[in-house]
DNA sequence: GGCGGTCATACAAACGATTGCACGCGACGG
DNA sequence: CCGTCGCGTGCAATCGTTTGTATGACCGCC
């Protein structure tokens, strides 16, 4: 019934010494052969390679990491793996890192500082060489590695430290979203924002309010669909409800559309909705969602370039994607 | 302009030796103190703890891993991080693993065997102690660790090897989905399946065909929304189009709904659609999606239990979630 | 006061790789 | 015939921990 539990004593893996014995050489020679050194040649090299093939030997990355003080691995920290926005950023990172011979691991913090600390330790203790933060926060104790160029922020600026940061100009992008609504003729443009205290939230609010006006309606959400739905319901219950709403991400926009429909409103005829991010689902909502696209694969590539080559990343370009959830207001 | 690139030589981290010097004891004593051994007490212990606090020291996991042959980390391999179905499974794993003192890392294979191999190496060389496979495939060279109980499959059975597997009865679940449609009065029930050659695909086809009949229409997709859309368009172009369609996952169902709507059909009045998985977006589609829910957090917990305690997992329970995308056929 | 017993601490050998340096061997030239 | 050079290989130290065993201090007891 019960399988062989993950045994405390690990399987006796084949070591370099085993290869050396099989090939009749010393461990150093094996190591050099595997590293591709020109110092080991001909017959010796062949015997070693044969032994490796035969045993399926792979070098122990833990021992290698200890000796070299380098793992050739990157860790991506994100708030939650459940948000599809991060997925494509990760894919971009994987692509660029892979091309440079680096592996990529992902850690999900769920906003929990304890989990953050555990994951940050992977960098502090050399399990990984670099950290990509999509969390908007620098975990404790990472100031030194950050100054050493081992940490880069993506999508969201991190306050209190000068980190290379890969992002778009969020304020300008938010303003572009609102300008689109204004160009359609909207005047009462509400905003469903991210959580308070979040840098992205503040930047997008800033971009929205400068275009939408000071007295426009603002509700805070938490980037989930459920929060977008609740926020929209809140907005619709007010005395003068908006003709358009700008949501700080696509998931909240999807929630907002649902709330509007449940209240008997048609989108976009009665209410225009614009999102942010252009996650894959945005093109498949009903109606398809107008949104601001962030260049996620480019984010990933720029992040890796920053870590590996020390390039300091420029602001990347966003794009307004006009679909069918926005239209001129009635009347 | 350019930040300090991720320096080849790593920062000189504080080692246990530094703590020992600060506390005026030997390295062994520090090690024992940190491990909570009762052999080091009183004043000595306090001096050590003070030094640790002062320096922010954390033990080097690479060295520790080498010495102990154990990392207390699990790696989750998934085909793509972009599919939200996996997100909640990962959360369940993180929860259960965290409670047992294990960390969780995630690797995305993108269906690429090379990437699979690189990630599998993490297990082979002791970077992680256990592997959770959501990929439906056992990477090369993992037979030994698999037999040692270091590998568990989740959601999808892996062929060719007897691995502890956490899943639902996919055939029965598919059949339950189709039975729901039949109960509503449908008789022409098509299926949009996953990719050919996939075990899940076969199981769900089996469940569908036994209930829907031999001559019902079948189209293959690849679990993406775009493929669901294309498959539905294909189905609608046929001479006798179905009154209901069972999709092998929610994303294809979302694509199918879009295709139906674009063809001028109303869901569910003209076409019923049922999905599979109950991803978070399923409740927010229009109309909200009827689907089969897989117990994802339970998947995670059972996977960890299998790895850590050697429990061999039972089949878990699925649930039919009836929302608004299914209804009796017209006429 | 000497001896055995306890207790806290230190020494040193692993874990599995990499690499500077030294060494052995064959060939070649003087 | 011997010294030297070059080339391939091996020795041993190292990376930062953990842990079995040795050591030394101190105590009480006879």
Could you read off the pLDDT of B208-253 as tens digits, one per residue? 999 998 789 999 999 999 999 999 999 999 998 899 999 999 999 9
Nearest to A105 among B87, B105, B312 (CB): B105
DSSP reduced 3-state for B39: coil
Q: So what's the pLDDT on residue A1?
A: 46
Task: Mark the nucleotides of strand D covered by protein, meaning any atom under 7 Å from a CB.
Answer: 7-12, 14-20
Q: So what's the pLDDT on residue B1?
A: 45
N-terminal to C-terminal alpha carbon distance within chain A: 70
What percent of chain B is predicted at pLDDT more than 90?
A: 88
The residue written with tokens 């017209």 in the block is B330
| Vertex A101: Cα angle to A95 and A107 (nearest 5) | 60
Nearest to A88 among B6, B82, B306 (CB): B82
Q: Which residues contact B41 (CB under 8 A, 6 or more apart)?
A: none
Q: So what's the pLDDT on residue B103?
A: 95
Q: CB A6 to CB B148 under 8 A? A: yes
Question: How are strands ordered across the β-sheet holding B218-220?
Answer: B218-220, B189-193, B244-247, B272-274
Q: Which residues contact A121 (CB under 8 A, 6 or more apart)?
A: A127, B58, B61
Distance B36 CA to C10 C1' (A): 18
Structure tokens at A218: 């603002």
- Say which residue, A40 or B123, is predicted with more confidence: B123
Q: So what's the pLDDT on residue B10?
A: 55
Closest nucleotide C1' to the C-alpha of B39 = C8
**In what helix (H) or strand (E) does residue A192 lie, and over which residues does it extend?**
strand A189-193
Q: Residue B65's closest CA among B158, B132, B152, B127?
A: B127
Q: How far is CA B311 from CA A128, B90, B150, B299, in A?
A: 32, 19, 12, 13
Task: Mark the nucleotides of strand C covered by protein, meaning any atom under 7 Å from a CB.
Answer: 7-12, 14-20
Question: Does B4 have pLDDT greater than 70?
Answer: no
| Vertex A11: Cα angle to A6 and A17 (nearest 5) | 160
Identify the closest residue of chain A to B82 by CA–CA distance: A87
Rounded CA separation A275/A260 (Å): 14
Structure confidence by residue, pLDDT tens digits, B125-179: 999 999 999 999 999 989 999 999 999 999 999 999 999 999 999 999 999 999 9
Q: How confident is the prediction for chain B on average, in pLDDT?
A: 93
What percent of chain B is predicted at pLDDT more than 70?
A: 96
- Spans of chain A, pLDDT less than 70: 1-5, 7-12
Nearest to B4 among A60, A104, A310 (CB): A310
> Which residues in A lie closer than 8 A to residue B283 (C-beta atoms)?
225
Rounded CA separation B278/B317 (Å): 14
Structure tokens at B5: 């690139």
Q: CB B110 to CB A91 under 8 A? A: yes
CA dihedral A115, A120, A123, A125 (to 10 degrees): -80
DSSP reduced 3-state for B174: helix
For nucleotide D11, the protein residue with its alpha carbon nearest to C1' is A28
Buried b / exposed e over B287-303, threshold 16 CB at 10 Å, is bebbbbbbbbebbbbbb
Distance from CA of B215 to the nearest CA of A (A): 30
Q: What is the pTM of this model?
A: 0.93
Tally A–B CB contacts below 8 A: 223
Query: Peptide bond preceding A84: is omega within 30 degrees of 0, i.e. cis?
Result: no
């Amino acid at each position: 019934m019960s399988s062989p539990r993950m045994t405390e004593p690990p399987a006796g893996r084949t070591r370099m010494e085993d290869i050396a014995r099989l090939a009749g050489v010393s461990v150093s020679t094996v190591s050099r052969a595997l590293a591709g050194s020109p110092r080991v040649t001909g017959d010796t090299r062949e015997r070693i390679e044969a032994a490796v093939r035969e045993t399926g030997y792979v070098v122990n990355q833990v021992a290698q990491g200890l000796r070299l003080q380098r793992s050739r691995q990157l860790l991506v920290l994100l708030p939650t793996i459940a948000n599809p926005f991060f997925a494509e950023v990760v894919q971009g990172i994987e692509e660029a890192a892979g091309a440079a011979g680096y592996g990529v691991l992902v850690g999900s913090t769920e906003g929990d500082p304890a989990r953050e600390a555990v994951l940050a330790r992977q960098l502090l203790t050399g399990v990984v060489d670099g950290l990509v933060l999509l969390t908007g926060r620098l975990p404790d104790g990472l100031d030194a590695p950050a100054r050493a160029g081992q940490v880069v922020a993506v999508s969201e600026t991190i306050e209190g430290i000068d980190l290379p940061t890969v992002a778009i100009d969020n304020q300008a992008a938010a303003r572009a979203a609102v300008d689109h609504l204004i160009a359609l003729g909207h005047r009462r443009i509400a905003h469903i924002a991210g959580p308070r205290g979040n840098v992205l939230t503040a930047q997008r609010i800033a971009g929205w309010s400068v275009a939408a006006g000071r007295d426009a309606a603002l509700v805070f959400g938490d980037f989930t669909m459920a929060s977008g739905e609740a926020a929209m319901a809140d907005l619709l219950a007010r005395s003068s409800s908006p003709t358009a709403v700008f949501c700080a991400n696509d998931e909240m926009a999807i929630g907002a559309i649902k709330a509007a429909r449940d209240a008997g409103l048609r989108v976009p005829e009665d209410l225009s909705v614009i999102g942010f991010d252009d996650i894959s689902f945005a093109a498949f909502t009903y109606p398809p969602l107008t949104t601001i696209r962030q260049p996620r694969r480019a984010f990933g590539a720029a992040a890796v370039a920053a870590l590996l080559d020390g390039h300091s990343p420029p602001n990347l370009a966003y794009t307004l994607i006009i679909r069918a959830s926005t239209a001129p207001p009635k009347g």
